């Protein structure tokens, strides 16, 4: 069955949620790599209302009911925090809608799970920063998110993707994909494979620190890409953290690092001209400053010291995941052209190489804020 056929069920989902008003449109939306996202427009008493409809990726999220339970718990918890400080709970966190029988999801006849969120209005999510201020605002907001989640009871959360940022485990999966080579592609990417093999020990460093009890496990977001946050369109300030599918116990340095991997790259994640790819030290410093401010003193000295390692590990891990998916036939990340995952792996490799060149400067920046 094609993705188109699977997504045709979106009209059943819309019906199941019985949105008020007159239906206007339901079009593909956003640039996420995982779920099928649609912008829904309705009109009620002459007033336009927008929603985000998503088909959760059932190959990746094996237990969508528990996932939605996580999201309801997290968003309810955040709403209380937002209200307590006089904020607007309708705009500053996701609001999952319920079906008439009270469920925050709908299961269609093909077995896909769907959800609807209120659309966050007068706000923007960006694939690239327009200027350093955007990045600073996203850093403060992601840092604040982790501060808000500090007293959330992690035992309530289902681990939606086990070992999500267990980088050594990701390495094993990568080696298995190379060995099995089900698409016969490994021969074309021997240099790329050698690159990740040469970085095997680097990829274990943060996990070793965690296992040794030197880094605390916190409730983290785990997918802190720039387009997983909304900025207020008028003020430019960080407004709402999106994509809560992977909120699980994790490392703060990985939340920091994933943001750097995506947002401090001077090129897009899938840029084909690798001469455009580099780490912007200006954006790196901006994010360090904003993230530490957002976390408001919560990070330990060791977490701060290891921020550059978080950035390097997340870039290595993500690059290796893209290459693994390329080897396995592009079944995980959504692709929009042939070789898309390989292009993405290439940018991550180039970014790691640039981080290695700029390592002393990255360390010096972090020392300034320690
Ligand atoms: P994926 O897991 O596929 O990345 P996301 O949940 O991140 O899916 O959604 C994809 C994109 O849709 C986001 O990057 C953002 O631009 C947009 N989006 C998601 N939820 C909302 C929302 N409630 N309001 C406005 N835009 C949203
Ligand atoms: C995916 O869902 P999205 O597009 O925000 C992925 C992240 C990767 C990212 C790479 C659940 O994020 O882990 O870092 O692509 N999310 C999942 O762009 O695997
Ligand atoms: Mg996303």
> Could you report the per-residue pLDDT of 134-187, keeping only the tens digit for each?
999 999 999 999 999 999 999 999 999 999 999 999 999 999 999 999 999 999
Q: Tell me, what DSSP letter sits at residue 279?
A: B
- CA–centroid distance, 138 to ligand 1, in Å, is 15
CB 262 within 8 A of CB 233: no
Proximal ligand: closest to the CA of 223: 2
Strand runs labelled E in 121-201 = 123-124
Strand runs labelled E in the chain = 22-28, 36-44, 47-55, 106-107, 113-118, 123-124, 218-220, 229-232, 238-241, 248-250
pLDDT per residue over 176-203, tens digit each?
999 999 999 999 999 999 999 999 999 9
Task: Give me the DSSP letters along 146-202.
Answer: HHHGGGS-GGG---SSTTTT-HHHHHHHHHHHHHH-TTS-GGGGHHHHHHHHHTHHH
The CB of 243 under 6 Å from ligand 2? The reply is yes
Task: Centre a 10 Å sphere on the Cβ of residue 5 and count the other Cβ atoms it contains.
Answer: 9
- CA–centroid distance, 258 to ligand 2, in Å, is 10
pLDDT of residue 182: 98
Q: Which residue has the tokens 């785990």?
A: 222
pLDDT of residue 370: 87
pLDDT per residue over 204-242, tens digit each?
999 999 999 999 999 999 999 999 999 999 999 999 999
The topology under which CATH files domain 3-62+96-121 is Phosphorylase Kinase; domain 1 (3.30.200)
| Residues paired with residue 123 on neighbouring β-strands, in sequence order | 232
Nearest CA residue ID for atom 23, ligand 1: 119
147 to 44, 152, 303: CA distances (angstroms) = 38, 10, 14
* Cα–Cα dist 142/26, whole Å: 30
Q: Which of 283, 275, 225, 293 is nearest to 254 (CA)?
A: 225
**Domains 3-62+96-121 and 132-369 agree in fold:** no
Listed by start position, the domains of the chain span: 3-62+96-121, 132-369
CB 199 within 8 A of CB 352: yes
pLDDT of residue 126: 97
What residue ranges of the chain have pLDDT lower than 70? none
For residue 118 the two structure tokens come to 């209120």
Q: Helix, strand, or coil here: 219?
A: strand
The CB of 30 under 6 Å from ligand 1? The reply is yes
* Cα–Cα dist 255/148, whole Å: 14
The CB of 318 under 6 Å from ligand 2? The reply is yes
* Cα–Cα dist 351/264, whole Å: 10
Environment of ion ligand 3 (residues, CB < 5 A): 32, 228, 243
pLDDT of residue 1: 86
Nearest CA residue ID for atom 7, ligand 2: 223
Sheet holding 123-124, edge to edge: 123-124, 229-232, 238-241
- Which of 223, 265, 314 to probe ligand 2 with, by most ligand atoms within 8 A of CB? 223
* Cα–Cα dist 310/308, whole Å: 5
The CB of 34 under 6 Å from ligand 2? The reply is yes
Residues 6+ apart with CB under 8 A from 328: 177, 182, 183
Q: Tell me, what DSSP letter sits at residue 32?
A: -
For residue 246 the two structure tokens come to 């992977």
CA 226 vs. chain centroid, Å, equals: 8
The CB of 34 under 6 Å from ligand 1? The reply is yes
- CA–centroid distance, 235 to ligand 2, in Å, is 27
* Cα–Cα dist 337/278, whole Å: 23
CA 250 vs. chain centroid, Å, equals: 13
* Cα–Cα dist 114/35, whole Å: 10
The CB of 246 under 6 Å from ligand 2? The reply is yes
CB 115 within 8 A of CB 56: yes
Domain 132-369 top-level CATH class:
alpha beta
Whether the full predicted model's pTM is greater than 0.95, yes or no, is: yes
- CA–centroid distance, 228 to ligand 1, in Å, is 6
Q: Tell me, what DSSP letter sits at residue 108?
A: -
């Amino acid at each position: 069955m094609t993705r188109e056929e699977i997504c045709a069920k979106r009209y059943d989902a819309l019906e199941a949620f019985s949105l008020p008003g007159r239906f206007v449109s339901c079009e593909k939306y956003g640039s996420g790599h995982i779920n099928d996202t649609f912008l829904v427009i309705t009109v009620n008493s002459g007033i336009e209302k927008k929603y985000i409809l998503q088909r959760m990726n059932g190959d990746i999220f094996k237990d969508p009911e528990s996932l939605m339970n996580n999201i309801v718990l997290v968003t309810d918890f955040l709403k209380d925090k937002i209200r307590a400080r006089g904020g607007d709970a309708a705009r500053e966190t996701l609001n999952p809608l319920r079906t008439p029988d009270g469920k925050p999801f709908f299961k269609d006849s093909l077995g896909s799970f769907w959800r609807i969120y209120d659309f966050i209005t007068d706000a923007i999510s960006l694939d690239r920063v327009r200027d350093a201020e955007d990045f600073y605002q996203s850093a403060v907001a992601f840092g604040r998110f982790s501060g808000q989640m500090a007293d959330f009871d992690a035992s309530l959360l289902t681990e939606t993707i086990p070992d999500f940022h267990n980088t050594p485990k990701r390495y094993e999966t990568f080696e298995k994909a190379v060995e099995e080579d089900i698409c016969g592609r490994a021969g074309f990417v021997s240099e790329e494979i050698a690159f990740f093999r040469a970085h095997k020990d680097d990829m274990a460093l943060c996990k070793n620190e965690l296992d040794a009890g030197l880094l605390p496990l916190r409730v983290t977001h785990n997918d802190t890409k720039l387009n997983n946050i909304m900025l207020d369109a008028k003020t430019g300030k960080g407004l709402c953290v999106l994509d809560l599918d992977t909120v699980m116990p994790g490392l703060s340095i990985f939340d920091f690092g994933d943001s750097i991997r995506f947002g401090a790259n001077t090129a897009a994640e899938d840029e084909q001209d690798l001469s455009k790819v580099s780490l912007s030290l200006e954006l790196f410093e901006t994010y360090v400053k904003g993230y530490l401010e957002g976390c408001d003193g919560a990070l330990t000295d060791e977490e701060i010291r290891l921020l550059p390692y978080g950035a390097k590990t997340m870039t290595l891990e993500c690059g290796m995941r893209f290459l693994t998916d390329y080897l396995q036939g592009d079944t995980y990340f959504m692709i929009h052209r042939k070789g898309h995952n390989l292009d993405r792996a290439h940018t991550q490799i180039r970014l790691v190489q640039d981080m290695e060149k700029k390592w002393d400067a990255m360390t010096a920046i972090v020392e300034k804020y320690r």
